[in-house]
Amino acid sequence: MSTSEFDALNRQHALPGKLAFGPGPGGLAVAVVNNSHASAMIALQGAHVMTWTPHGQQPVIWLSRAAAFAPGKSIRGGVPICWPWFGPHPSDAKLPGHGFARTVPWEVVESRSLRDDRTVLVLRLAETEATRKQWPHATPVEVEAHITVGTTLEMELVTHNNGSAPVTIGDALHTYFEVSDIREVKIHGLGGCPYLDKVDGGSRKQQQGPVTIGSEVDRVYLDSTADCLIEDPRWRRRIRVSKRGSRSSVVWNPWTEKAAKMGDFGTRGYLNMVCVESTNAAEDVVNIGPGGEHRLWVRYAVEPLS
Ligand code: TA6
């Protein structure tokens, strides 16, 4: 983005002292938020929340120190938006995993400060010839990301079916949370849920008690609508993941080998992260009727461990 484009963007959407746009890592255009509650950085590519840190807290969102930042390249960490499919494309392995939304530019459509000083930023992805090539379908669809930065982080992914035919999407907020040491963390809220274990051929199992991680974990929890709690004893906190409009959750940590193969995790990055993803994936994809919409909403909150 050129200086004059940043100037135009700031003239239209900057919030003095709270929100400004400029070049970020790798020259990617970013929105930088700093209000009385928290700081955050959001790449316009993919409407990708890269960082969110409530003042006085350790970072809540993990961003790999070895992440690559380049146009069209997915960013390792933050909150990747998976849309309009989750995971591998259902029929064409040549198409990007987790859809194209996270690697294309989104347009800023609104910014505002709320009365409680939280900062709202709304971005929209309108379809293009390039996206239609990857996702040919009869009905015009667009998606918006509503991001609210405060002592909590709220995100809502709104898919609008603007046409006269139904459309099916998979979507997710593929959030990387920062933890002190994954080996000490417990994830509550999924006990009793059935899950597909992608580390064991996708076999269907049932979660017993909290999730603990001591090797590669990649699980799609079905019928999971309750809050998840990421309990971090060393940082004496837990991160509450609340959601609406999502019927499945994914827990993922690549552990050593997979992280090394991916190349953008850094040497020990996997020890300080866990993905708890709010998704509509696998058998939980979403059908949106003509003129309808689907909302996937999350709220992340940090709570002290008594
Ligand atoms: O959500 C878990 C997962 O599907 C893993 O299987 C792994 O592929 C991860 O997403 C990261 O995918 P990415 O395309 O961002 O490298």
Q: Distances in Å between the alpha carbon of 213 and those of 70, 101, 187?
A: 31, 29, 9
- The CATH number covering residue 53 comes to 2.70.98.10
What is this structure's pTM?
A: 0.97
What is the rounded distance in angstroms from the CA atom of residue 20 to the CA atom of residue 36? 15
Q: What is the pLDDT of residue 260?
A: 95
What the block records as the tokens of 183 is 């080996």
DSSP, collapsed to helix, strand or coil, labels residue 163 as: coil
Mean pLDDT, each 10-residue run in order, the chain (306 residues):
94 97 97 98 98 98 97 96 94 93 96 98 91 83 97 98 93 98 98 96 97 98 96 98 97 97 93 98 90 98 94
**Ligand 1 centroid to residue 268 C-alpha, Å:** 18
Domain encompassing residue 74: 3-304
Ligand 1 pocket member 250 (CB < 6 A):
yes
Most informative mutation of 74, 75, 174, 175 for ligand 1 (most atoms within 8 A of CB): 174
Q: Which of 37, 48, 174, 294 is catalytic?
A: 174
Ligand 1 pocket member 284 (CB < 6 A):
no
Active site residue 98: no
What is the rounded distance in angstroms from the CA atom of residue 290 to the CA atom of residue 71? 33
What is the rounded distance in angstroms from the CA atom of residue 255 to the CA atom of residue 273? 10
Tell me what percent of the chain is helix, strand and coil, each rounded to the nearest 5.
15, 45, 40
Active site residue 174: yes
- Within 10 Å of residue 153's Cβ, how many Cβ atoms? 25
What's the domain count of the chain?
Answer: 1
